[in-house]
Structure 1
Amino acid sequence: MQGGPMKKASEALQLLLRSLPEDCLFNVISFGSRFDSLFEKSQSYSQESFTKALKHAQEMTASYGGTEIYNPLKWAFENSRNDMPTSVFLLTDGQVYNVDQIVELIKSCEEKKKDDLRLFSIGIGDSVSHNLVESVSRAGKGYSQFVTNTERMDKKILGMLKNAIKPPIKDYNITWTDHIIEDSLPTETNTVNNPIISCFSNITTPPPADQNIFTDTKIQQAPFLIPPIYPGVRFIVYCILEKGVEACKEIILSANSHDGPMKLSIPLDPVILQGSKMHTLAARKLIQDLEDGTSFIHKHHSVKF
C-alpha cells in the first residue's frame, strides 16, 4: 500500500480499534512479502493495549513489500482462541495469484471452528482485486465492502464491526413452490408420479446409479447453500424452475436467530420473471457456486453425467 490506500487503511484500522467492545480480545497483523503481529498473542482490550495498537495504526507505512495473504491468515487462524468465536477483518488494496489456495485455507479453518470463525474483507482503492475480496468473505461466511481513496467509510466499517460482534442469522430455508418437494433424490422403484427433485437441500446422499441429476432436476437454487445474512447487507438468491413448475405467490423465508425462529413472506411480482436478464444473473450465480465448490453437484458427491 502506498499513498491514498495506505492512508485509508490506517484510518480504517484506527476506526476499528476505537470501536471494539471492551470485553473482546484482539491483535493486529501487518503483512506484505513478510508479516508480523503487534502482539505475540491476542490481548484483552485495555487502555494499554489500545494505546499501543492505535500508535501502530497511526504510524503504519508501506514497508512490507508485495501482497501475500496466505501465511498471515494461516498464522491468524492457528493462533485464534478455540474457546470463543473469532472474527477476522482483512484490509487490502492489492491482488494475489493464489486466490483459490487462500479460499481453501479459509474454508478448512471455518469448518474446523464449526461456525465460530468468520472473515470480513475490506477492499481499499481503485486497483484492489474484487475477486479476492469477495471470494475470501464468501468462504469465511462474512461479507465484503469496498472503499475508494476519497470516500467516507465510517458507516461501512462500523456496520461491519457491529455485524461481526453479534451472532448471524442462519439455517435458512426458502419455500419457492407449492409443489411437494423431496429433500432426497427419488429411488429407482419410485417411477410413477415422482415428486420434483430439489437441488437446494442439505442432503448429501448420492443419487441412484441410473439417475441423471441434471435432466431430472426441476428446481435449482443459487447460491445452493445460503450463507449467514447480515442486517443492512443486501443478499440475493435465485431459483430456476423448470417449465410447468409454478412459483408461490409469496416466497416464504424461515431461519433461526439467537432470539428464536423467524419467518418472512415476500410477495412475488410476476413482472420480474419476464425477459432473460433474471435468468442470466441466476446462471452466473450457478457458475459461481461451481467455481467455489459449493454447488449442488459438490454436495451430491456422486452424479451421473
Structure 2
Amino acid sequence: MVNCCGLITANKDPVPLKSIEVELEVRDHVATVVSTLNYENKEDKPLEAVFVFPLPGDAAVCHFSAQIGQTQIVAEVKEKQKAREEYDDALSSGQQAFLLEESEQSPDIFSLSVGSLPPGESASIRLDYVTELAVQADDGLRFCLPAVLNPRYQPLGSGGSGGVQVTSVPASLVPYSLSFSARVSSPRPISKVESSCSLDPLQYLNSEQTQATIKLAAGHKFDRDVELLIYYKDAHQPTAVVEAGQASAELGSLMGDPVVMVSLYPEFPQSVMSSVASCGEFVFLLDRSGSMDCPINNSKQQETRISSARDTLLLLLKSLPMGCYFNIYSFGSSYEHIFPKSVEYSQQTMEEALKKVGEMGANLGGTEILSPLQHIYSQSCIPSQPRQLFVFTDGEVGNTKQVLDLVKKNSGSHRCFSFGIGEGSSSALINGLAKEGGGHAQFITGTDRMQPKVMQSLRFALQPAVVDISVTWDLPKGVSVTVLSPPITALFQGQRSLIYAQLTGQSPKAAEGCVTVKYSLAGHPSQNQLRFSLKPAEDTGSTVHRLGARTLIRSLEMEERERRGQPDGGLKEKVVQLSVQSGVSSSFTAFIAVNKADGEAIQGPLVRRNIPISRMCIVKVKGGRGSCVLDL
C-alpha cells in the first residue's frame, strides 16, 4: 500500500488558513480571478504555513502580494532557485517571507509558503490569475475554480524529484470557508448562469442584460470544485480584441506593444461536410487505476469515476459508424487490450467489446499511462482510416509533461480526444492531451451533461482532418506582427480557435487589420476571414498581454524539454526573461515577497503547518511500481 501524498485523516493541529475570498470577473470568454487567502496564527509559537493547491492548467498567474497589518508587500517574479534562496535567507534572518511557485511536473499545481507568521499575527495573501473559458457542447462557457486536489501518481524512473507532502482531509472536514462572487459582462446578452453549487439568483445590472452579478449561496464550504456555466446569446461570433501596450514598458517589447487576441469559429462548407464518408480507426484508452474507484464528485450521489468512464465509453461504442475500425486499451500499473490489433466494427465485435467493457473495474493499480500510449503509437496506422485516440482518465498522473511531450511527438499520426472524469482531474493533462493531439477536451463531473459532451467529441472525430492550415495578416503599412501562439494544428466546425499576436509599429487612426485562416478540407481549399479595428479596447488592463505571454511561455517550455541535452539556444533564459518582464508565472520562476520593514526578529524555531485540502478518497495502490506524490 502506498499512502498517497501523505493522505491523512483530520488531526488536531491548528490550521492557520481561516478563509478564502474569490472575486471573478468574466469579460466575454476571458476570466480574471482575484483570490484572497486569510491566515491567522492562534498558536503560541511562530509558524510556517504551506498550502499546495490546484489552479486551472492554462491560467496565467500574474499578481501575488501580502498584507500584514498596514504593510502591503508586492511580490516579484524571479528565477525559481534565486527566489527559494531569498525565501530561506529571509526566514533564517527572522523576516516574514512569502513564496509562490508552480510545480515543475504539472502547471496546474501551485505551492504557497507563508513564512514566519508570529503568534497572534494575521496575514492576507492575494493571488490573481487570468484564463480563457472553454466552450462546451451546449455552447456554455465553462469556468472551474478547483477545490479538490487529487494525488498524482509518479511512476518510478519518470524523472520526478522528491515530492512535497500534501495534507488532505475528507470534504466535510475542510476547516476554512469560501466566499465567491462573479461579475459577467459581454457585448451579447447573458442568457443564464448555471453551477454545480447553490447560487443566489442572477442579478442583471442593465436593461440590455449584458452585465450581471452572481454569487454562491451562503454557507458554502470549499469542499468541491466550483463550476460555472455561462450562456450568451449568439456565442459563436468571431471577435478580435486589441489591447494597448503598457506606457511603462519598452516599445518593441511584448508588454510595451499592443497585443491582439483573435477568436475564430470556422464554418466549413456544407457541401464538403455532407459528402465525406464516416470512417476511421478509433482507439479507446481507459484508466483503471485504483483512484478511479473514488466518487465522481462530492455530491450525495455515489457514482464512481470508473462507472462514469464505462458509461461514456459504452455510449461511444454504440455510436460508431459501421465499417470503421476500433480497439480498447485499459491501464493501471500495467495495460491490457481487448483485441491484438484494431478490428472492423460490426455487430459481433461491438457486442464482444460491450461485454468486456461492462466487466472492467478499477483494479489495475497505479496510473502508468506512458506505456500504453507508446504501444498504441508503435502500431501501424490503417490506410484510409484516420486514427482517433480517446483517453478517459481522472488525470492523477505525476509525469504530465512527459505524457504531453509524447502525444505531441506523435501528433502527425492521430487526433487525441480527452475526457477528464470526476472532480479534481488534472486540467493541465486533459486540456494538454487534446491541444497537443489536435483534438478536443471534455470534463465529466456528473451524469447530467455527459451525453452531449460525448456526442460532440465523436462528431469532431468524424470530421475530416483539416490540413495545410496557414494564418496570414493584412495590416497597414508600418505595422508588423509577431504571432505568440503556436501554429494551429486542428480546426473543427464551430469550435473556437484563439490566436495571440504582438503588433509593432504605428497605425493611423481608424485603421483596420485583417486575419485570414486558410486550410484544406477533404481536398477542398477553404478560408475564414476576420476584419478588425486596430483601435485598442478600453478597460482591459493587461489581460490580453498576460494571456499572450502565458501562451508563448508554454510553447518555449515545451521546446526546451524537447531539446533537453542538446544546445537549446538559451530557451530557459528566454522563458525566465519573458516571465519576469510580463509578471506571469512559469515552471522556471517563482513569486517572492519579503517583509523588510523594521521589527523585532522572530524568536524561536518555526513550526511547519501543512494546510489540508479537500480530497475525494484515500487510494490504496496494489502492485504499483511508483508512488503518489506532488512534485514541486
- TM-score normalised over the length of structure 1: 0.77
- 5+ residue gaps, structure 1: 181-194, 197-217
Identify the structure with the greater strand proportion: 2
Number of aligned residue pairs: 263
> What SS does structure 1 have at the residue aligned with 2:449?
coil
Q: Greater relative contact order: 1 or 2 (C-alpha under 8 angstroms, separation 6 or more)?
A: 2
Question: Which residue pairs with 2:449 in the alignment?
Answer: 152
Residue 100 of structure 1 corresponds to 401
Query: Would you say 1:258 and 2:558 are equivalent positions?
Result: no
Matched-pair contact (CA < 8 Å) for 2:419–2:442: yes
SS of match in other structure, 1:91: strand
How far, CA to CA, are the matches of 2:380 and 2:348 in structure 1?
21
Consecutive unaligned residues in structure 2, runs of 5 or more = 1-291, 296-303, 575-632
Among candidates 209, 212, 224, match of residue 486 of structure 2: 224
Instruction: Map Cα deviations across residues 134-189 of structure 1 (whole Å, 9 max, x no partner).
Output: 22222212121111134322122112112212322232333333257xxxxxxxxx
Q: Report the equivalent of 1:53.
A: 353
User: Which stretch shifts more, 15-24 or 231-240?
Assistant: 231-240
- Structure with larger Rg: 2
Q: Residues 222 and 56 (structure 1 numbering): CA distance in 2 closer, same or farther, change over 3 Å? A: farther
Tell me the equivalent position of 1:42: 342
Distance 1:95 1:12, change over 3 A: same
Shift of 1:241: 0.8
- Distance in structure 1 (CA, Å) of the matches to 2:329 and 2:434: 18
Q: Is the 8 A contact 2:476 2:512 kept in 1?
A: no
Shift of 1:303: 8.5
Q: What is the percentage of aligned positions where both structures have the same residue?
A: 33
1:287 has 2:545 as partner: no
Which has the higher mean CA deviation after the structures are superposed, 228-237 or 259-268?
259-268
Q: TM-score, normalising length from structure 2?
A: 0.39
Residues 512, 533 of structure 2: 8 Å contact kept? no
Q: Comparing 267-276 with 255-264, which one deviates more in the overlay?
A: 267-276
Looking at secondary structure, tell me which structure has more helix per residue: 1
Corresponding residue SS for 1:40? coil
Name the residue aligned to 1:173: 470
**SS in structure 2 at match of 1:268:** strand
2-structure distance, mates of 1:271, 1:146:
37
Match of 2:427 among 105, 130, 133: 130
Match of 2:498, SS? Answer: coil
- CA gap of 1:168–1:48, structure 2 versus 1, over 3 A, is same
One of 78, 82, 89 as aligned partner of 2:378: 78
Pairwise CA distance, 1:54: 0.9
Which residue type is aligned with residue 288 of structure 1? R
1:278 aligns with 2:540: no
Equivalent positions of 1:18-37 (< 5 A) are 18-37=318-337
Distance in 2 between the 1:57 and 1:272 partners? 54
Q: Are the structure 2 counterparts of residues 135 and 163 from structure 1 closer, same or farther at C-alpha, using a change threshold of 3 Å?
A: same
- The aligned counterpart of 1:139 is 436
Distance of 2:393 and 2:549 partners within structure 1: 29
1:121 matches 2:424: no
Q: CA deviation at 1:52?
A: 1.3
User: Which AA in structure 2 matches 1:282?
Assistant: G
Matches of 2:341 and 2:354, distance apart in 1? 17
- Contact 1:122–1:133 (CA<8 Å) still a contact in 2? yes
CA contact (8 A) 1:169 1:258 kept: yes
Alignment RMSD: 2.9
Q: What's the CA shift for 1:273?
A: 4.0
Q: Is the 8 A contact 1:5 1:149 kept in 2?
A: no
CA distance in 2, matches of 1:27, 1:74: 15
Instruction: Tell me the residue number matched to 1:69.
Output: 369
